[in-house]
Amino acid sequence: MIAEDTVFSVLYDKFMFWSDIVGIITFGVLFYSILRYRAKPGSEKFNPDHIEVGAFPVDRHNTRLEIAFYVVPTILIVWLTVLATSSSNTVWNIPADEDSFDIDIVGKQWFWEFNYVEELTWEDDPRATYVNVEWQDGSTTLTINTLGSSAVNATVVQDGEATDYAIDLESNSTSIALASNYFVYQSVKVTDADGNLLHTWEHLPVGHQLSTAASEHLVVPCDEDIVLTLFSRPHDESNTVYAGVQHAFWLPEWGAKEDLVPGLEGGTVMTFEPDRVGTFDIRCAEFCGLSHSKMVGYIDIVAKDGETCDEDVGIQLISDSEGSSGGEN
């Protein structure tokens, strides 16, 4: 289900409002006219030879009404066009922001690749999991606080090597002598006695790659402009003549979609701004070949380490002069 404060959801509501108004007026006039001016065969008003389809009765036309038939729909269409244009401008012409989070996305045959051009360190909300991981850049000690949780084990992955550590159940604070290295992939996953995942801390370095072919999710932070640069490339690039196929990267939750054009060196750009944590769908909205159905995936919205996703950052529609909110979630 699309988030309620996305710019497209708000635009849909506005279109439905004006459609309801037009429908009520149109059908109201229609039924009124049927009841008010109906004439039965045999009555003096009944004269089928006098009716000409598509033309006003010349002998009893109403000039003001005829003009209104053209003016009112024209005003309505212009107004709806302004709403749609301003909404598109809100989505596709977001000013460049130095604080935006940039990711390169490559559509291949048939999976998505996510290449991180910026590092991302994130952690599950300690207020919900009762677990807090403290492992700062350059630190030589990993501290895991577990007061109030059922945590018994922590699996630490650093540059592809995984090591298990037992949680200190007496002090509820486990310290591990281990130096962090923010140039490699690192993660801390805390589990309970049954192996259920309770808490995740993760660091994705610059140059890290995730892929839906490996069942991995795209991970982006909340409360920031997310700028996706999209490329379409073949899986096997040995044939320099073949440029790949057309894809369309689609995030149904935010109503945002952009084409991936094969052979376009600079790629295409899509922007959105998530404001709540969760896992949402990724789809390909362009038929890209026999395995188009495999072009699916998931996007995880997370909070950066030390931050939360409590703020609602819905974007206001440009055309909304009355101040009702609309947003690109």
Q: Are strands 186-191 and 197-204 parallel, antiparallel or unpaired?
A: antiparallel
- Average pLDDT score over the chain: 83
Q: Is 322 helix (H, G, I), strand (E, B) or coil?
A: coil
Q: Are 202 and 186 in contact (CB under 8 A)?
A: yes
Sign (positive or negative) of CA dihedral 91, 92, 96, 101:
positive
Residue with the larger pLDDT of the pair 83 and 167? 167
Phi, psi of 237 (to 5 degrees): -95, 15
What pLDDT does residue 318 have?
Answer: 36
The model's confidence at residue 314, banded by pLDDT at 50, 70 and 90, is low
Please give the Cα distance from 33 to 47 (Å, whole number).
Answer: 17
> Which helix (H) or strand (E) is 81 found in, with range?
helix 63-92
Q: How far apart are CA 281 and CA 284, in angstroms?
A: 10
Residue whose tokens read 């700062």: 136
> Which of the following CATH numbers is that of domain 7-92: 2.40.50.100, 2.40.50.140, 1.10.287.90, 1.20.58.1610?
1.10.287.90
> Is the pLDDT score of 112 beyond 60?
yes
pLDDT value for 229:
93
pLDDT of 315 reads 46
Look up residue 174 and give its amino acid. T
The closest alpha carbon to 188, from 281, 116, 126, 127, belongs to 126
Residue 13 has pLDDT above 50, yes or no: yes
- What is the pTM for the complete model shown? 0.71
Residue 79, pLDDT score: 86
CATH 2.60.40.420 domain range(s) in the chain: 101-302
Closest CA to 235 of 160, 296, 295, 315: 295
Q: What is the structure's pLDDT at 158?
A: 92
Q: Which of 128-132, 144-148, 237-241 has the lowest mean pLDDT?
A: 237-241
Q: Is the pLDDT of residue 86 over 90?
A: no
Rounded to an integer, the average pLDDT of 245-267 is 89
Between 54 and 112, the higher pLDDT residue: 112
Whether residue 316 is predicted with pLDDT greater than 70 in this model: the reply is no
pLDDT at 324: 37
Q: Position of tokens 């940039």? A: 102
Domain with CATH 1.10.287.90 in the chain: 7-92
* Element at 90 (helix H, strand E): helix 63-92
CATH of domain 101-302: 2.60.40.420
Residue range 52-69: mean pLDDT, rounded: 71
Residue among 79, 77, 19, 74 at smallest CA distance from 320: 79
13-42 CB burial, b ≥16 within 10 A, e <16: ebeeeeeeeeeeeeeeeeeeeeeeeeeeee
